[in-house]
């Protein structure tokens, strides 16, 4: 489904994106040079950050490798 971001006014296909509620993860992706294509609030007053699946693939391994093992 095509969506027009209320934040940027740009159109993107929701099938090509992944939403994240983890602000720390979204901030880390941004610091690695990957910016969200959209961002919106929930009823619970949390932000959802929307990244492309392509950008997610670039960063998820790096993100997971920095987490402490249990």
Count other C-beta atoms under 10 Å from residue 61's C-beta: 8
DSSP 15-60: GGEEEE--HHHHHHHHHTT---SEEEE-TTS-EEEEEEHHHHHHHH
User: Is residue 12 one of the residues assigned to a domain?
Assistant: yes
User: Is residue 70 one of the residues assigned to a domain?
Assistant: no
Q: pTM for this structure?
A: 0.87
Per-residue pLDDT tens digits for 18-37: 999 999 999 999 999 999 99
User: Is residue 7 one of the residues assigned to a domain?
Assistant: yes
The residue assigned the tokens 């971001």 is: 5
User: Is residue 8 one of the residues assigned to a domain?
Assistant: yes
Q: How many domains does the chain have?
A: 1
User: Is residue 11 one of the residues assigned to a domain?
Assistant: yes
User: Is residue 51 one of the residues assigned to a domain?
Assistant: yes
Domain range enclosing 20:
2-65
Query: What is the C-alpha end-to-end distance of the chain, expressed in Å?
Result: 38
Average pLDDT, rounded, for the chain: 94
CA distance 3 to 57: 21
């Amino acid at each position: 489904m095509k969506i027009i971001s209320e934040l940027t006014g740009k159109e993107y296909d929701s099938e090509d994106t992944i939403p994240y509620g983890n602000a720390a993860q979204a901030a880390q992706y941004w610091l690695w040079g990957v910016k969200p294509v959209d961002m919106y609030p929930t009823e619970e007053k949390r932000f959802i950050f929307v990244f492309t699946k392509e950008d997610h693939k670039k960063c998820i391994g790096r993100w997971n490798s920095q987490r402490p093992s249990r």
